[in-house]
Structure 1
């Protein structure tokens, strides 16, 4: 190993030593490296004021992360009220698409207009559109409001993660990232249960409306406790780092790849729309679906060509997806692994509670409780794998491959569960295996980034690299969700089309509660068919998990990364 590689390894190890215990902790430790160059110019907050800001940021992260799992156990209740169960996946997808579009943008905006002002803006967006979601009168309104709520959530996540590591010097990251990681884990564990409790005992609207007072508390703390000019408060403007002092709106437009971000969002949105609507409102061969797929394909090609051009020719602009990621086999493997991981991770949280409610006739609360093995296994996998990889000197790549195989095994076993009303105890073990594998890769793929990012992408570019990885994982989740939804709808329509009329089938897909209106024998056939549809979805998730294996093999080296 050359001296340069040894130095690079030492620098990266110093980052991961901080507190790599969960995906949230890993990301904060990595982002912490971006602020070290300015530590000597920062006046760190202390005492009660510091704790207040920590609480507000943790609350922002908790609410943002909670918005995915809390909705999953409420989808049946939402669609029973508003109708159109076959659009239920859009309630999740629209929120995640907000992440794909703006996750990187807000961190750049905060460089120009200040952390505090942009954080206030995104918290306001999140609060306003959470209230709008709770007041929605149609499923279409809810989907649109969720998209804007996702924009606010993406800003909350991005800025909170950056600000948290600017609050304290690097030698205190371990203490505070461990604290934040607890909130991350709790959001996963409590989300499905909260959603079940609220939907079962009151209206589903409270799963959104509760964000308003909670978000208002966080907003009030930010307004009054966070100093203006953070993280360089108390320092004369002329003494602040040049990279901060000289920023302007004109700099932002010249620096950030807005066109690339728009192409990425367009390509993803149109692909998801085509997959979601195919075999629901439009046949696969319809002009609508073909047009969306064609424009999406052209947008993907245009995105890649544009990013290649921006990387090689632009002198100032930072591309959304630097072409160096494609030229580096290691980084490309990490990104592909993240894309293939997104589907199993997000789709499981979406799909399993629905199966429990429709196939096993459980209440929303019961469904949420039975999802705990999956959501509990993920943070456990993150903690165990990072600790063992370091203590036992096992290359993290081995763990990534092992975790991918675990996911394939877990989802394959889940696909063998029968469609009976009774839930076999082994099913909880299968969930744990799959969730454990997901948790390992969510964490370790983040931990490995600083070891193989080029010097030019370190420091202030590390935020871009980490955000890009999360963006592509979310994008993989959105696309994966569209794929399994399309497969589910196609199977249901082909199986039940000869059993009930098309109008009855359309009504059933819009409101599954109508299942009880059919004769007992037909009810069982319909319930079994829905079970087969969910089984098909799980098989697809096993296939997506398998895609992580060749992606991980792209990262194979003669001398493996060690942490």
Structure 2
């Protein structure tokens, strides 16, 4: 359990290629290629000891990487179909949004810290630690006695998920040749998508069975146990500093920046979740939350800009990336793509649930066009980008297609034919899939090799930050606009504010389940018109992708 990479006796010296160091490699290393995998040759005792990863072992590593990507996608959406049963079982409507936003918050609040840790700590052990954290969070959710415990568990699982996701992309950057890197990175999106589409199905199936909604979270423990031998015995060790003592390296991490970064995202998501219908915008607690969010954001920006109590090399946020026009635009484009994808994957199911009255499994079938097109176009992008390597064109096309689809979704109503919705899904899915994972491969080539982990963290912050911020804003918009719209539409019919909130929380309300057809039709129309407004965020995200494509330099990318 611990060899760096498999040794081989029959490897030919003609396959050794002298080149610039790849991500995380030291300058004394040379490199060898076998298929798609990049192996290392470390210099020892005045000579070269040639080592490489076998195809069988590399296949096992890929199984492990894509299994965790699948679990990450599964956990990202599984909560969408169990919110109602959880609310019915545990109560506490005010904390219900944390089942979804808590996971994303845990991820985005710690992704920058993980970026620093992957530069300082042995990759294998940090990856295993992230998997363990993810499983602990899942166990907390499954055994939760109340909604507060669920919220805590979701945040813990999100923290572990961030380490898993960034760790997988780091492994690919370390062991895959530049020509194949975009394809392997796209596969992470593919397996994430498979997990995302099965999330509502698996969650709904458990919620409707004797196993109950708790097994929607316990299932992660089963998958983790089955795949554990791959991570423990087959995953290679790797890290530029792995032979150095760990404590001095951890001591140099930008802990103040990590704390401010986590506080900034936590306060923003909390402020969005509580503002409006849960608590009035002009209440003292909400005003205090928004003021604290602004203050912490300013302090974080100043601390990073001045490198206060840290160094430019150890900053939690890679400020040096802001000096590159291409990297900044990749950041904007990635955040926009993430916003488009997450807004749709969370709110398309709500549309079908409310307007068609279908259950979780039927809902999952109806969002198939969206998720399948994300997967398909992501694979197309990963395969063709090295050949048609004017990357600006991909962002330009992605923005236009996603913007058209999002604009059409902004016009939907309760009576919009299902075939039209499917067409809009295809457009949006195809558009955002083209650039969902593309920035990782592009950013690695547009940055120095020694900065690989740092730039991966930069793009990860964009992707997860775009998801967390867009979902927080979308949640606030849906609940505030939806509450006001339904309250106005149902005025004089005797329904309480709590019943309206419960209806918006997943249908467990007399307004949806036990009301006369006339009342239900009014409620459904109000919710559909609210969802049309929520898709404005999808259009904004698509516009950001298009803007990034317009401003990017038209240049060819050398990926081979």
Task: Give TM-score scaled by structure 2 length.
Answer: 0.82
Mapped partners of 2:172, 2:556: distance in 1: 31
1:344-493 map, 5 Å: 344-391=340-387, 393=388, 395-420=390-415, 423-453=417-447, 458-493=448-483
**What residue in structure 2 maps to residue 299 of structure 1?**
296
Asked if structure 1 preserves the Cα contact closer than 8 Å seen for 2:407 and 2:539, the reply is: yes
Correspondent of 2:508 among 513, 529, 534? 513
Mapped partners of 1:36, 1:171: distance in 2: 21
Correspondent of 2:231 among 219, 222, 229? 222
**What residue in structure 1 maps to residue 238 of structure 2?**
231
**What residue in structure 1 maps to residue 45 of structure 2?**
none
**What residue in structure 2 maps to residue 102 of structure 1?**
110
Mapped partners of 2:313, 2:23: distance in 1: 22
Asked if structure 2 preserves the Cα contact closer than 8 Å seen for 1:200 and 1:363, the reply is: no
Deviation at 1:431, TM superposition (A): 0.4
Task: Give TM-score scaled by structure 1 length.
Answer: 0.82
**What residue in structure 2 maps to residue 257 of structure 1?**
254
Deviation at 1:213, TM superposition (A): 1.6
Sort the Cα spacing of 1:212 and 1:272 in 2 relative to 1 into closer, same or farther, 3 A.
same
Asked if structure 1 preserves the Cα contact closer than 8 Å seen for 2:369 and 2:429, the reply is: yes
Sort the Cα spacing of 1:111 and 1:343 in 2 relative to 1 into closer, same or farther, 3 A.
closer
Which protein, 1 or 2, shows the higher relative CO under an 8 Å CA cutoff with sep ≥ 6? 1
Asked if structure 2 preserves the Cα contact closer than 8 Å seen for 1:53 and 1:225, the reply is: yes
Deviation at 1:62, TM superposition (A): 2.0
Mapped partners of 1:531, 1:193: distance in 2: 23
Is residue 130 of structure 2 the alignment partner of residue 122 of structure 1?
A: yes
Structure 2 runs not aligned, ≥5 long: 1-20, 30-39, 43-49
**What residue in structure 2 maps to residue 11 of structure 1?**
none
Structure 1 runs not aligned, ≥5 long: 1-30, 233-240
SS state at 1:518 partner = coil
Mapped partners of 2:185, 2:406: distance in 1: 31
SS state at 2:145 partner = coil
Deviation at 1:476, TM superposition (A): 1.6
**What residue in structure 2 maps to residue 20 of structure 1?**
none
Deviation at 1:369, TM superposition (A): 1.0
Pick the structure with more helix per residue: 1
Is residue 315 of structure 2 the alignment partner of residue 319 of structure 1?
A: yes
Deviation at 1:116, TM superposition (A): 3.5
Mapped partners of 1:152, 1:398: distance in 2: 35
**What residue in structure 2 maps to residue 336 of structure 1?**
332
**What residue in structure 1 maps to residue 552 of structure 2?**
555
**What residue in structure 2 maps to residue 210 of structure 1?**
219
Asked if structure 2 preserves the Cα contact closer than 8 Å seen for 1:129 and 1:146, the reply is: yes
Asked if structure 2 preserves the Cα contact closer than 8 Å seen for 1:374 and 1:431, the reply is: yes
